[in-house]
Amino acid sequence: MAVSVFDIFKIGIGPSSSHTVGPMRAARLFAERLRHQGLLASCARVEVKLYGSLGSTGKGHGSDKAVLLGLEGHDPESIDVEAIGALLERIRSTGQLRLAGLQPMAFNEKAHLAFYRRETLAFHPNGMRCLAYDAAGSELLNRCYYSVGGGFVVSDEAAADGQKHKLLVPDTSVLPHPFHSGDELLRRCQASGLSIAGLMRANERHWRSDAEIDAGLLRIWAVMQDCVARGCRTQGILPGGFKVKRRAADLHDKLCAHAASGPGASGIGGIGGAGDPLQVLDWVNLYALAVNEENAAGGRVVTAPTNGAAGIVPAVLHYYTRWFVASASSAGVIDFLLTAAAIGMLYKENASLSGAEVGCQGEVGVACSMAAAALCAVMGGRPEQVENAAEIGMEHHLGLTCDPVGGLVQIPCIERNAIASVKAINAARMALHGDGTHHVSLDKVIKTMRETGADMLTKYKETARGGLAVNIAEC
């Protein structure tokens, strides 16, 4: 199956790609299927059932809201995030929704939207079943969808074939430089004389012109920058019972005040003073915190490759454009995103991007690996060094559990993005100091990540039934 850079990087809403973006897309697809099959006018009732991890942490991750919006025909990329509250209030206060935006019908959320915490569909932990009935109670349509991580949705038809990596409409295009492993990616680069970004661009031309590729990726970058900017100026408390305080705005003000005060400033809490060589880490932390606080609040983010790990690629890309070289350019940003996507594709095809399937190593670990590789590339690394950076980024996230406290994408998720962003920068720098040769290949670490995820107890995989999730009491 051919995968585009724009499959890896998708514009959506928080707080979760697998629990918010995926269910929203699936519910919308179900409504559209009813419309395309001419069943919309006959439909009097719809029911949605969420299983496994969706059932366990769906409410904390906004799956209920996502389903309602998706059934009404809204798309995570285009929906006005400022209007979401009013849309949900209208559905819930009237007890009615407009299926596919066209067909009014009664919708009782308690009766028609069910969460099955202890029941899992066979194909994937993030399963959901959508059903439609006519006025007489006869079943019109019954479909299962699986949110397999990163906002990707798999249909029950694809699941029947055992192809979890397939999209709802798999693209069977033959690309000029196909690759299915890290070793094959390096061989393709060597044979063609292209960088990883150049090879990705050649493949992307199958669907788009160079101008369209550049415009699309710069739009992704603009959304990332907007997300950081919103996070840096927004104060307040994040949704949920823990009343987590947003920190990015205060940190931003302190860093800016310190920068304006010039030499001799005392810095933040006695650190970060004039000449502090690690002050840049405060800014990297800021960028990641800003994105993931926006994500936790249900704001507009770029799935990179998931929402729970959405802050890492933007934080490292901000580091590149604002701190590494004054001459960092739009071309460098584009190459960064193309390189990161190539690494993300390898994890998607050969392991998983789903915290519910392999733990947080499949989210934060993958994002760190992608960002490390991309930074190494734009800092002048050869493909072999880039592959090494990607391997380092994941190797030191192996076994990372997904244990969201309260089922919310807040603790430890927000800080985890900041820590992983710094690790990605260090991984890139370590790889650049080497010659690209190393004992553990990227393919071996991806295989190990997949096997580790398979061995991991379910309670540590986005169910909020293990780890920090059960050791932190809600106040």
Q: Are 417 and 362 in contact (CB under 8 A)?
A: no
Both 154 and 207 in a single domain? no
- Alpha-carbon distance of 243 to 237, in angstroms, equals 6
Sorted by sequence, the CB contacts under 8 Å of residue 166 that are 6+ apart come out as 1, 154, 158
- Alpha-carbon distance of 435 to 437, in angstroms, equals 6
Which residue intervals of 351-412 are DSSP H helices? 355-358, 364-378, 383-395
3-state secondary structure of 382: coil
Both 83 and 25 in a single domain? yes
Both 238 and 142 in a single domain? no
- Alpha-carbon distance of 377 to 386, in angstroms, equals 6
Both 102 and 207 in a single domain? no
Q: Are 45 and 132 in contact (CB under 8 A)?
A: yes
Both 210 and 327 in a single domain? yes
Terminal-residue alpha carbon distance, the chain: 47
pLDDT, tens digit (0-9, with 9 covering 90-100), for 127-136: 999 999 999 9
Q: Are 346 and 182 in contact (CB under 8 A)?
A: yes
| Pairing assessment for the beta strands 127-133 and 139-149 based on DSSP bridges | antiparallel
Both 346 and 416 in a single domain? yes
- Alpha-carbon distance of 157 to 79, in angstroms, equals 28
* Radius of gyration of the chain measured on its C-alpha atoms: 22
Evaluate whether residue 189 is within a structural domain: yes
- Alpha-carbon distance of 416 to 405, in angstroms, equals 13
Count how many domains the chain has: 2
Evaluate whether residue 474 is within a structural domain: no
- Alpha-carbon distance of 448 to 341, in angstroms, equals 20
Both 264 and 365 in a single domain? yes
Q: Tell me how crowded residue 380 is: count the other CB atoms within 10 A of its CB.
A: 8
Both 237 and 357 in a single domain? yes
- Pick out the chain residues at pLDDT < 70: 159-172, 261-275, 325, 473-475
List the structure tokens of 409. 């994408």
Per-residue pLDDT at 166: 46
List the structure tokens of 344. 């993300």
Both 62 and 148 in a single domain? yes
Domain around 198? 182-460
Question: Rounded to an integer, what is the distance from CA 317 to the centroid of its chain?
Answer: 16
pLDDT, tens digit (0-9, with 9 covering 90-100), for 55-88: 999 988 999 999 999 999 999 999 999 999 999 9
Both 128 and 238 in a single domain? no
Q: Tell me how crowded residue 160 is: count the other CB atoms within 10 A of its CB.
A: 10
Tell me how many degrees the CA angle 360-26-65 measures, rounded to the nearest 5: 75
